[in-house]
């Protein structure tokens, strides 16, 4: 090869090697016929990654492979204990068959789902929220998580009340958080509407994308409106009726959500949430969950139809109160 040709060839090779390579998310993500990223399908958000960064991982944003393996071994040991494979003091609870909590950490290897604040911890409560929780804890002293406050009825079932009454799922929120089971959401999409159908309690959110303003109607799952920012679907939700099952009833009706859905590959939908509730937390905070594509269909979660325990819970509470009165 002549020297000039060789030089040109080498220069071309260097240019090709060092030129930016398009990201997979730019080339491998399916799109709708109207050009938006196709977000449709069933997405699985179960994981054993904790919401907050554990104290022993303070300052460590990402897990090592050893850290991940240790967490997965802990989950395996918990499953074995529930199934009676090893001696354990677990009475009156589900075995592993009934759970679907996941067995691995998220693919990004973050040490917590919380990404902001940078320490991976949920911000502190406001003074008013702390006082409210202290009053509730005092009122529910010696009361189980699925029991009404002494003298109370269905509106007094405590932080798990909406879950127990099958009004909202404990992981469907909004916003969605990994939980014990039913960690799936199905997305349907048109050019002007997106529908989020949660497996837990079959909650359905219809999200208009046509720019219409929020209504003043307060709802259990809030009032959602969406728009596109590039290839990311942004859903803003306000006007909650009261607290939901999010953080076990930890938020208030002042909750404002900003959810972001980005399909980063054919198999991963990145779900990012900014939580802003000035009545509860001293500052907004953000967490994210890489959801995985689930090839299986969703089946109806008939919560209320099978909620035979509600009558037993309330009847048991009345008996407990009568016995206390006799004493």
Provide mean pLDDT across the span 229-243. 97
pLDDT value at 203 more than 90: no
pLDDT value at 323 more than 60: yes
Highest mean pLDDT among 187-191, 201-205, 243-247: 187-191
- The CA-based angle 245-248-252, given to 5 degrees, is 70
pLDDT reported for residue 91: 57
Helix-strand-coil percent breakdown of the chain, rounded to 5? 30, 20, 50
Per-residue pLDDT of 166-185, as tens digits, reads 899 999 989 999 999 999 99
pLDDT reported for residue 92: 57
Rounded to whole angstroms, the Cα distance separating 224 from 120 reads 27
Does the pTM surpass 0.75? The reply is yes
Please, are residues 271 and 286 in contact by the beta-carbon 8 Å criterion? no
At residue 79 the predicted structure's pLDDT band, cuts being 50, 70 and 90, is: confident
Provide mean pLDDT across the span 302-321. 87
Of residues 277 and 101, more confidence is placed in: 277
> Which single residue is written with the structure tokens 């909202």?
168
pLDDT value at 111 more than 50: yes
Average pLDDT in the chain: 88
Provide mean pLDDT across the span 14-33. 54
pLDDT reported for residue 87: 59
Per-residue pLDDT of 139-149, as tens digits, reads 999 898 889 99
Distance of CA 103 to the CA centre of its chain: 16
Provide mean pLDDT across the span 270-295. 98
Locate the domains of the chain by residue range.
42-46+114-316
> Which residue(s) pair with 198 in the sheet?
185
Lowest mean pLDDT, pick from 37-41, 101-105, 226-230:
101-105
DSSP letters along 216-270, please? Answer: S--BTT-EEEEEEETTEEEEEEE-BSS--STTTTTS-TT-EEEEEEEE-SSSEEE
Rounded to whole angstroms, the Cα distance separating 42 from 184 reads 7
Of residues 144 and 114, more confidence is placed in: 114
């Amino acid at each position: 090869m002549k020297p000039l040709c060789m030089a040109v060839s080498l220069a071309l090779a260097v240019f090709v090697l060092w030129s930016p390579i398009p990201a997979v998310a730019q080339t491998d993500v399916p799109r709708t016929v109207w050009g938006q990223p196709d977000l449709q399908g069933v997405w699985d958000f179960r994981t054993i990654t904790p919401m907050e960064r554990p104290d022993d991982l303070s300052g460590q944003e990402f897990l090592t492979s050893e850290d991940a393996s240790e967490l997965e071994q802990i989950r395996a040991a918990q499953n074995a204990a529930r199934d009676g494979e090893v001696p354990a003091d677990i009475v009156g609870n589900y075995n592993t068959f009934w759970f679907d909590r996941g067995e691995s950490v998220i693919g990004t290897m973050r040490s917590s789902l919380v990404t902001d604040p940078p320490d991976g911890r949920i911000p502190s409560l406001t003074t008013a929220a702390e006082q409210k929780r202290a009053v509730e804890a005092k009122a529910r002293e010696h009361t189980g998580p699925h029991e009404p406050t002494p003298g109370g009825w269905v509106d007094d079932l405590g932080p798990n009340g909406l879950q127990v009454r099958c009004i909202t799922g404990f992981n469907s929120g909004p916003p969605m958080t990994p939980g014990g089971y039913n960690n799936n959401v199905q997305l349907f999409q048109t050019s002007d509407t997106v529908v989020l159908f949660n497996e837990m309690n079959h909650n359905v959110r219809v999200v208009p994308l046509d720019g219409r303003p929020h209504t003043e109607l307060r709802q259990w799952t809030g009032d959602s409106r969406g728009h596109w920012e590039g290839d990311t679907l942004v859903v803003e939700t306000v006007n909650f009726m009261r607290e939901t099952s999010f953080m076990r009833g930890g938020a208030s009706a002042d909750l404002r959500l900003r959810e972001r859905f980005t399909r980063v590959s054919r198999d991963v939908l990145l779900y990012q949430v900014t939580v802003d509730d000035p009545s509860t937390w001293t500052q907004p905070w953000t967490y994210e969950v890489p959801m995985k594509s689930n090839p299986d269909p969703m089946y109806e979660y008939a919560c209320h139809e099978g909620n035979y325990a509600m009558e037993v819970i309330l009847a048991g509470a009345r008996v407990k109160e009568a016995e206390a009165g006799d004493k």
